Amino acid sequence: MAPPHPRYILVIVSGNSPTSKLFLGLIITLAAVVLYSLYVTRQISGLRELQHSLVDRNRKDSLQLIRIQNDLNSLALAMRDMLDNTEPYPLTAWASQFQRIREDLDNALRLEAEVAPTDRTTEQRQYLGDSVRQFWDAVDRTFALAANGKQKEAGDQIRLSLQARQAALSTAVSRLLVQNNESEEQATLRISQIYDRVQRQAYFFLTATLIAILFTSLYLIRSNRRLFAKMAELSDQRSELAQKLISTQESTLRYISRELHDEFGQILTAMGSMLSRAGNHAPEGTPLRADLREISEIAQTSLDKVRTLSQALHPVMLDEAGLESTLDWYLPVVEKQTGTKIHYEKLGKPYSVDSNAGIQVYRVLQEALNNVARHSGVKEAWVRLRFLPERLELEVEDHGKGLSSETKKLGIGLVAMRERAELLGGHLELLRPETGGTLVRLMVPRDKVEAHAE
């Protein structure tokens, strides 16, 4: 009877990668950030220029205008004292005071011209300078009249000309101060408007960015969910395929083992029996009798090897005597074949293990002991079989080199052990004991391995 051939269905999962769309979204987001940064930078530069050209200059200019206004007020007080008849001093006595005020006023006018706002017209600049020069010309004429003894004419000049010119200058300076205040208010309003506009744009950009991030995150979450779903589906398919391959492998090995044990074993047994009978019929001491005996021994040796190979491929004892008896037979065989000293411990109350589950546990033990013999570098191992109330545990421990990370990732035997554990609904652990080496632990729920009476 040939082993069954399971059918496999190949499922190809295809889909568009979200990388290109995410990359395009990243480019658009970065471009938006760059453009908005340029916009904000330009607005800030405009604010700085506006503050420098208007606000700061207006404040400095207003300080100088106030200084000029104070000098003009000082001149007004001096002219009032000059016209006061109670003063016993001649008009020329005020010449030094006027000179000091003139020097300070000229200095203030020079500084004011340097910091004057850029929006001030040329006529306004010329008017203030021309008016001050005309005032000082009139002052010089007045002191000239006073120096020539013409006190009355000098007083009339002060009353009719100088005071009027001083009042006109004070009015002009006051107008400039008002103009500066109005310009500063307009600049403040423009700055406030720019701040409001930038703030609105910032809120708009922040909202748009949050919306873009939200949609990108939702798209990414959706793509990741689809990707993980595909990965889970592929993992399930891989696990299913691996388990089917393991089942197919075990079915094939069981079939070959039975064929070797039943067919070839029976043939070799029959050959040995026939050779023995033929040898008994041959005359004693003849070459034919010796040859028949030698062929019979060869047949017996072949029979032993066939039975050993049959047991290695699939222990018939598992189906007949169960897992516990199979391990009792198998571990001394491994000791003899590999020279590894095996310390075997059984714990708990044994229960019957299903043969289909028992072969998986047996294969895990077989692979673990092969790893000990090939890779550990030691000749001693510990095997523990625990029949616990809730699960069956198998441990294989050695104190050798241990498993490297590459071996854990790439070892086909380790992958097969994990698949066999999953096939049983159990769990496989690869641990490193405190003494070094490797500890392989297989844990399978009891209800998955226990044989139930029919």
Exposure string of 417-448, with b = 16+ CB inside 10 Å and e = fewer, is bbbbbbbbebebebeeeeeebbbbbbbbeeee
Q: How many CB atoms lie within 10 A of CB 369?
A: 24
pLDDT at 395 over 90: yes
- Distance of alpha carbon 229 from alpha carbon 61, whole angstroms: 73
Among 53, 59, 65, 51, which Cα is nearest to 177's? 65
Q: How much of the chain, in percent, has pLDDT values that exceed 90?
A: 9
Q: Which residues pair with 341 in a beta bridge?
A: 380
User: Rg of the chain over CA atoms, in angstroms?
Assistant: 56
Cβ partners under 8 Å of residue 393, min gap 6: 384, 385, 386, 441, 442, 443, 444
Q: Are 169 and 131 in contact (CB under 8 A)?
A: yes
Question: Both tokens of residue 72?
Answer: 């003009």
Cβ partners under 8 Å of residue 136, min gap 6: 102
Average pLDDT over residues 213-239: 81
Question: So what's the pLDDT on residue 261?
Answer: 65
Q: How far is CA 239 from CA 10, 248, 304, 363, 441, in A?
A: 13, 14, 38, 17, 20
Band of the pLDDT at 441, cuts 50, 70, 90? very high
Place of tokens 């004429």: 141
Question: So what's the pLDDT on residue 397?
Answer: 92
337 residue type, one letter: Q
Band of the pLDDT at 444, cuts 50, 70, 90? very high
Cβ partners under 8 Å of residue 247, min gap 6: 6, 423
- Distance of alpha carbon 160 from alpha carbon 166, whole angstroms: 11
The reply to whether 19-217 and 317-449 are identical in fold is: no
Pick the CATH number of 19-217 from 2.60.290.11, 1.20.120.1730, 3.40.109.10, 1.10.357.10: 1.20.120.1730
From 82-91, 345-354, 417-426, the region with the lowest mean pLDDT = 82-91
Pick the CATH number of 317-449 from 2.40.50.100, 3.30.70.3270, 3.30.70.260, 3.30.565.10: 3.30.565.10
Most confident of 130-139, 242-251, 264-273, 300-309: 130-139
**For 367, phi and psi rounded to 5 degrees?**
-70, -40
Pairing of the two strands 341-348 and 380-387: parallel
- Computed over every residue of the chain, the mean pLDDT equals 80
Q: Are 313 and 249 in contact (CB under 8 A)?
A: no
- Distance of alpha carbon 131 from alpha carbon 141, whole angstroms: 15
pLDDT at 384 over 90: yes
Question: So what's the pLDDT on residue 18?
Answer: 64
Give the start-to-end residue ranges of the domains of the chain.
Answer: 19-217, 317-449
